[in-house]
Chains A and B, each alone.
Chain A
Amino acid sequence: MTATLRHARYVLSENPVTAFAFALFFLLALCAALGPALAPFDPLASDTAEALTGPSAVHWFGTDQLGRDIFSRIVVATRLDLGIAVTSVALAFGIGTLLGLAAGYCGGWIDRIVGRAVDTIMAFPLFVLAMGIVAALGNNVANIVYATAIINLPIYARLSRSEANVRRNAGFVEAARLCGNGEARIVLAQLLPNIMPLMMVQVSLTLGYAILNAAGLSFIGLGVRPPTAEWGIMVAEGASFIVSGEWWVAFFPGIVLMSAVFCFNLMGDGLRDIVDPLRRT
């Protein structure tokens, strides 16, 4: 344990960018946890007299077209966006990994069925599939989560399948079998922890992608419903004001969105460095 921590600290110190990413992540998590308590204004309260005013001492990030404080909306949106990302990735990871492990370890018809199902999903341009699912099932947060989970499932399924395949007859698995462990137990208690580090890297990357997916859906008009505050929909709404010079309406949510995704991606890279045995030499 301490060896891992020491190694982690070594990697982080060598890589200030990764350290920065982890710090940013904690900041975001804090925002999500504390949410509305941190917002100076009510994110839903309109004030048309103050509409479209630029960043100032009162409104740090300015106001939008209905006079709502953008900073407050961004802070409150953190909870929603992270929530969507974490839930959908958890679903994708949970279901995808189990399916992939089963397929890789058992082989045979399980492998073929899971393989086909995953291939079918991957044959669609993923964003279009998400659009289709949300359009068909209706615009609400739950459906956005399901759609994002479905399109990210294949990545986990494929990764865990190939890893399970490789480790299927590895030493430690043989040993566990000899000890009398049942197949299910081997998969869950031996294989899964063994591939966890690699999966964690993927989780981090997928979190970023999930947020971008929700933002893209909002841009098309299939995202969360107004007046809910969500980074993507704020950028989409603000996009029409860029040309007329009210750049802040889209810029600040865009920057925060980008920072969050950036943070997850860098974390993924950093985790990969920590986890990658090649770096230990």
Chain B
Amino acid sequence: MRRRDFLKRTAAAAAGTFAAAHVLPARAQAHKDTLLTLSEGGPNNLDVMGVGTNRPGYEASWNTYDRLVTYGVKKDADGNDHYDSAKIAPELAESWDLGDMSVTFKLRKDAKFHDGTPVTAKDVKWSFDRAVTVGGAPTFQMAAGSMQKPEQFVAVDDYTFRIDFLRKDKLTLPDLTVPSAAVINSELAKKHATDKDPWAMDWLKNNEAGGGAFKIEKWTPGQELIYQRFDEWKSGPVPKIQRVIWRIVPSAGNRRALLERGDADISVDLPPKDVAEMANDKKLTVVGSLIESALIYLSMNVKIPPFDKVKVRQAVAYAIPYQKIMDAAMFGRGKPMFGGPSEVTTTDWPQPTPYVTDLAKAKQLLAEAGLPGGFETTLSFDLGYAVTQEPLCILVQESLSQIGITVTLNKVPGANWRAEFSKKTLPLLANVFGAWLDYPEYFFYWNYHGQNSLFNDMSYQNPAMDKLIDAARFETDPKKYDEEVEGFITTAFADVPRIPLFQPWLDVAMQKNVTGYRYWFHRQLDYRQLAKT
């Protein structure tokens, strides 16, 4: 009766709405110059030198600011474009003269910021002074290339800029290619500086003052960021894409669905399983690049018993179900770091350890360490990486239970993770670390050195290894360098405070008509090379 009528009417109305939505023109295809990229999270700050700026913030900075120099490009094993760490190429600086204790850059004379102001050496000085003064991540990153004091930066004249060295460091020049070494429009920024905020941190958080290939048209934090090409960009070939829309879509399933239906162009952080399947389907282009100097690993805090006994640590290393993790957590999208040769003969880093899954050997080592009955412990991991870390940890937990080690899993939410592991109270944890500068001694300096930095989550302190690391960092003799590097890698494997598991890949999925993708060390998208055919 009436209800039936009413229900019929409601159903008809709903169907009509759906039909209307379907009949609307498919706008997604109408825009050849516009790129739609999706990701799980967005920038929390547009200023790469901001407090607590996250990785999406680095992507925004990379595309809207220029740096003095950049890397060249080469092809990787699969024929995809890959940044070339051996070739430093001009960006804002046209040429440079590397002296003994200083380097002098000649800036290009036609470069302008987005508001039309010419880029001069005083902007570079202001930006670098800012980077080494504000503290936090940018200062730490600049220091990695021995750039620590504002006195080192000299604006010789409008288009000549010099950096004086504190010491000879082969990382100084590469350190100028990183996102943190951005060149900011100092005049514009200074207009918004205050007495309490001399570096305009507040204003630059929500506004960009760069001269990069893209300008920011609109930013709605947590939702989307729209870029517009800066047509007067002179530091390289003008990008083919005119507009980039970056949308935040928290659900990975939705991101995948959007890509597969052709409603989005490119996405970077999809789960390995989805990527593996999309690679198989061949409807989309999937590029997987090995991330240099990066590792997914298990760390044991050597200050917390029983992980202070080397045999216990080795037992755990033999009890990890490596291949199972590779299949069920990584879906093959990673390079195994286990089952390698028994002796270290190269300085490649990362390289596989000699450990394999051998439960009998693990039990034996535990017994030798005086713990034949096993023990109890907690395995912590970052919820932000749960897609791979959770299955990984569940499998580890299961395997360890077979040698008598009872493990409770501890999921730590993303923003708390840094706080948690910096306290160095976690006995066992799964983590990921990737260095921007691809040198083994750099990786070891931050992860294994007794200076006990934040990233040394094993609280590992071994003076013998420290000597080797320190020597390798400034070593000029190639033969001695090889000995030192192989030396500290051998110690790391024998002592095994940290069990390397995999070298991760960076997987990017894109429509077949998107070309020009180039893998960068910061693992974010560079829109300047992309094009849609």
Given contacts A46-B394, A66-B391, A244-B274, contact A227 B327 (CB under 8 A): no
Q: Could you tell me the distance in whole angstroms from the C-beta of A42 to the nearest C-beta in chain B?
A: 10
Chain A residue total in the interface (Cβ 8 A):
20
CB distance from A53 to the nearest CB of B (A): 13
- CA gap between A73 and B324 in the complex, in Å: 20
Render B357-382 as a binary contact track against A, CB cut-off 8 A, 1 for contact: 00000000000000000000000000
List which A92-146 residues lie within 8 A (CB) of chain B.
139
Check if A221 sits within 8 Å of B257, measured CB to CB: no
By the criterion CB–CB under 8 Å, are A240 and B252 in contact?
yes
Is B90 an interface position by the 8 A CB rule?
no
Report whether A48 and B390 are in contact in the complex, using a CB–CB cutoff of 8 Å.
no
Return the chain B residue nearest A67 by Cβ: B328
| Of listed A45, A225, A241, A243, residue having the most chain B CB within 10 A | A243
Residues of A close to B324: CB separation below 8 A = 46, 48
With A221-B411, A244-B274 given, is the CB distance from A48 to B328 under 8 Å?
yes
* Residue A242 interfacial (CB < 8 Å): yes
Whether A243 pairs with B257 at a CB distance below 8 angstroms is: yes
- A44 in the interface (beta carbon within 8 A): yes
Collect the chain B residues with CB atoms within 8 Å of residue A240's CB.
252-253, 271, 387
Number of A-B contacts (CB under 8 A): 57
Known: A44-B398, A46-B394, A46-B398. A225 touches B253 (CB 8 A): no
Interface assignment of A51: CB less than 8 Å from any CB of chain B: yes
Whether, in the assembled complex, B256 has its beta carbon less than 8 Å from a beta carbon of chain A, the answer is yes
**Chain B neighbourhood of A46, CB < 8 A:** 324, 328, 394-395, 398
Chain A nearest CB: distance from B386 CB in Å?
A: 8
Please report the C-alpha to C-alpha distance between residue A97 and residue B301 in the assembled complex, in whole angstroms. Answer: 50
In the complex, whether A91 has a CB less than 8 A from a CB of chain B is no
Docked Cα-Cα span, A221 to B411, in Å, equals: 9
Within 236-278 of B, Cβ neighbours of A (below 8 Å) are at: 252-254, 256-257, 271, 273-274, 277
Could you tell me if A243 and B256 are in contact, using CB atoms closer than 8 angstroms? yes
Q: Does A87 contact B (CB under 8 A)?
A: no
A162 interface hit (Cβ, 8 Å): no
Q: How many residues belonging to B are interface residues under a CB distance threshold of 8 Å? A: 27
Do A244 and B277 have beta carbons less than 8 Å apart? Answer: yes
A225 engages B327 (CB within 8 Å): no
Task: Say yes or no for A65: interface residue by CB 8 A criterion.
Answer: yes
- Inter-subunit contact B328/A226 (CB<8 Å): no
Question: Whose C-beta in chain B lies nearest to the C-beta of A51?
Answer: B328
Cα A66 to Cα B398 in complex, Å, equals 11
Q: Which residues from chain A contact B36 at a C-beta distance below 8 Å?
A: none
Chain A residues with CB under 8 A of B408: 225
**B252 cross-chain contacts in A, Cβ below 8 A:** 240
The answer to whether B395 and A66 have CB atoms under 8 Å apart is yes
| A67: chain B residues within 8 A (beta carbon) | 328
Q: Are B411 and A225 in contact (CB under 8 A)?
A: yes
Which residues in B have their C-beta under 8 angstroms from that of A176? Answer: none
Across the interface, name the chain A residue whose C-beta is closest to B271. Answer: A240
Cβ B383 vs Cβ A65 within 8 A = no
Closest B residue by C-beta to A245 = B277
Please, which residues of chain A bring their CB within 8 A of the CB of B257?
A: 243
Nearest opposing residue in chain B for A246, CB measure: B273
Query: Quick check: is B397 within 8 A (CB to CB) of the other chain?
Result: yes
CB of A239 within 8 Å of the partner chain: yes
Most buried by A among B256, B277, B328, B398: B328
Q: Within the assembled complex, what's the spacing in Å between the Cα atoms of A269 and B397?
A: 44
Shortest beta-carbon distance, A146 to chain B, in Å? 19
Return B278 CB to nearest CB of chain A, in Å. Answer: 9
Q: Which residues of A contact B435 (CB under 8 A)?
A: none
Which of A51, A66, A221, A225 is packed against the most chain B CB atoms within 10 Å?
A66
| B383 A221 Cβ-Cβ under 8 A | yes
CB proximity of A135 to chain B, nearest CB, Å? 8
- Is B256 touching A244 in the complex (CB atoms < 8 A)? yes
Q: Does B155 contact A (CB under 8 A)?
A: no
Give the chain A neighbours of B411 by CB distance below 8 A. 139, 221, 225-226
Min CB distance A212 to B, Å, is 20
CB closest chain-B residue, reference A135: B413
Contact string, A209-236, partner B, CB cutoff 8 A, digits 1/0?
Answer: 0000000000001000111000000000
Query: B531 at interface (Cβ–Cβ under 8 A)?
Result: no
B409 interface residue (CB < 8 Å to A): yes
Q: A67-B328, A242-B253 are in contact. Are A226 and B277 (CB under 8 A)?
A: no
A44 CA to B253 CA, complexed, in Å: 26
Minimal beta-carbon separation of B407 from chain A (angstroms): 10
A226-B409 in contact given A46-B395, A244-B273 (Cβ < 8 Å): yes
A51 to B327, CA, bound (A): 9
Q: How far, in Å, is A168 (CB) from chain B's closest CB? A: 41
Cβ-closest chain B residue relative to A45: B398
The residue that B253 contacts in the complex, of A49, A51, A226, A243, with Cβ under 8 A, is A243
Closest to A228 in B: B409
Contacts of B274 in A (CB 8 A): 243-244
Contact B394 A66 (CB under 8 A): yes
The residue in B256, B391, B411 that gathers the most chain A C-beta atoms within 10 A of its C-beta is B391
Residue pair B409, A221 in contact (C-beta under 8 Å): no
Bound Cα distance from A30 to B518, whole angstroms: 59
Q: Output the nearest chain A residue to B327 by Cβ-Cβ distance.
A: A48
Q: When the two chains form the complex, which single residue of A139, A227, A241, A244 contacts B394, counting CB atoms closer than 8 Å?
A: A227
Residues of A within 8 A of B413 (CB): 221
Q: Which residues from A are CB-within-8-Å of B387?
A: 240
A241 to B327, CA, bound (A): 16
Q: A136: shortest Cβ distance to chain B, in Å?
A: 12
Chain A to chain B: the 3 pairs with minimum beta-carbon distance, closest first: A243-B253, A48-B328, A48-B324
5 CB-based A-B contacts, threshold 8 Å: A48-B324, A49-B327, A227-B398, A240-B253, A243-B254
A240-B253, A244-B277 given; name 16 further pairs at CB < 8 Å: A46-B394, A48-B324, A48-B395, A49-B327, A66-B328, A67-B328, A221-B413, A225-B409, A225-B411, A226-B393, A226-B394, A227-B398, A243-B253, A243-B256, A244-B253, A244-B256
